[in-house]
């Protein structure tokens, strides 16, 4: 077990290094305008001097080494256009808590709605809840989120009588962004829980329990739901990742002062160091999410073993 965890951790770190290197090299291919606030007005000499100062004229391996050294110190560089010469870590430290808070609340909401929906669907096969849930899942999965978010924002704001844009001090404005973020995950949880529960319901121990005369409700809640939930655990960190990715769109739509909105902002302003930093952070979150999913899974499900079957595959 310890060996597996260590190995998994090591491979995650290796992946992280590879991904950061690739992102770094790719962003270096961008035009150098993205490092200056007022590129058009600058003299060629000043540009070169500034590039030298930032170390952008060094050979790539030197730059890369420099970057990783700074990264270990917790320094992501400074913003070029978004907020000139401000340290990126500072900007992100301001924005990240908002994103995290919204993401976590929406995750809780998604579980609170998605899991009961999935369970209801599994219990009422081809009755109302199953049909309703299936229609909901098909809609959410098939129609691009970018489209129904727009309608949700406009009509939701009208129906609830709340402002369209997010405002930290007004709790009413939190409803729509959180609900929009949760929608995808509600469908995701409902879909998988239903699938696992239906699988589980067909197993022998359920038949035995039924033959013994155990109440239907007790079977589904105490036995089936528990067993079906175990494989779901793996999805939780992944769906946290999904929430964050979805939030790029939602945060910018509701102008939430978070990381996702920031990414759209800096892309539109072509601020190279900021884009690089945020893309790297998102990749890290993705890698950590998968890692946590795997580790959680191994911690929770005792049926998973780590004895490697040499040559058996």
CB of 222 closer than 8 Å to CB of 151: no
Near another protein by CB under 8 A: residue from 53, 73, 217, 313: 313
Distance between CA atoms of 306 and 299, rounded to whole angstroms? 12
Q: How many angstroms separate the Cα of 308 from the Cα of each of 4, 234, 297, 312? A: 10, 21, 17, 9
Tell me, residue by residue from 77 to 106, as one string, x for binding to another protein by CB under 8 A and - for no binding: ------------------------------
Residues 144-183 close enough to bind another protein by CB under 8 A: 144-147, 150-151, 154, 158
Q: How far is the CB of 159 from another protein (least distance, A)?
A: 13
- Rounded CA-CA distance 78/84 in Å is 8
User: DSSP string of 228-293?
Assistant: HHHHHHTHHHHHHHHHHHHHHHHHHHTT-SSHHHHHHHHHHTT-HHHHHHHHHHHHHHHHHHHHHH
Among 1, 6, 13, 26, binds another protein (CB under 8 A): 26
Binding of residue 248 to another protein (CB under 8 A): yes
Alpha-carbon distances, residue 72 vs 26, 66, 75 (angstroms): 21, 10, 7
Binding segment toward another protein, per CB under 8 A, in 19-27, 73-81, 103-111, 191-199: 19-27
Judged by beta carbon, residue 70 or residue 141, the one nearer another protein is: 141
Sole window of 72-80, 141-149, 193-201, 218-226 interacting with another protein (rule: CB under 8 A)? 141-149
Q: Is 60 in the site for another protein (CB under 8 A)?
A: no
Task: Single out the residue of 245, 259, 261, 271 nearest to residue 77, CA to CA.
Answer: 271
Binding interface with another protein (CB under 8 A): 11-12, 15, 18-19, 23, 26-27, 29-30, 138-139, 141-147, 150-151, 154, 158, 241, 244-245, 248-249, 252, 263-264, 267-268, 275, 279, 282-283, 285-287, 290, 313
């Amino acid at each position: 077990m310890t060996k597996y965890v260590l190995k998994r951790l090591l491979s995650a770190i290796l992946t992280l290094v590879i991904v950061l290197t690739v992102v770094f090299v790719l962003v270096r291919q961008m035009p150098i305008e993205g490092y200056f606030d007022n590129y058009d007005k600058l003299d060629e000499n000043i540009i070169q001097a500034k590039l030298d100062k930032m170390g952008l004229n060094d050979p790539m391996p030197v730059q890369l080494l420099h970057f990783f050294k700074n990264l270990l110190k917790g320094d992501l560089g400074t913003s070029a256009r978004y907020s000139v010469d401000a340290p990126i870590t500072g900007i992100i430290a301001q924005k990240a808590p908002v994103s995290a808070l919204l993401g976590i609340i929406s995750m809780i909401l998604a579980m609170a709605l998605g899991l009961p929906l999935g369970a209801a669907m599994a219990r009422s096969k081809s009755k109302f809840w199953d049909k309703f849930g299936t229609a909901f899942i098909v809609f959410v999965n098939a129609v691009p989120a970018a489209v129904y978010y727009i309608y949700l924002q406009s009509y939701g704001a009208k129906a609830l009588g709340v402002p369209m844009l997010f405002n930290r001090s007004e709790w009413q404005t939190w409803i729509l962004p959180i609900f929009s973020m949760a929608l995808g995950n509600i469908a995701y949880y409902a879909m998988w829980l239903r699938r696992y529960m239906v699988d589980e319901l067909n197993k022998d121990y359920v038949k035995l329990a039924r033959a013994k005369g155990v109440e239907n409700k007790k079977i589904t809640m105490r036995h089936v739901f528990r067993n079906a939930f175990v494989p779901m655990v793996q999805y939780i960190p992944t769906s946290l990742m999904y929430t964050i990715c979805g939030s790029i769109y939602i945060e910018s739509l509701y102008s939430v002062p978070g990381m996702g909105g920031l990414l759209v902002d800096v892309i539109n302003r072509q601020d190279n160091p900021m884009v690089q930093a945020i893309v790297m952070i998102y990749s890290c979150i993705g890698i950590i999410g998968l890692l946590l999913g795997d580790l959680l899974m191994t911690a929770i499900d005792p049926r998973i073993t780590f004895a490697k079957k040499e040559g058996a595959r």
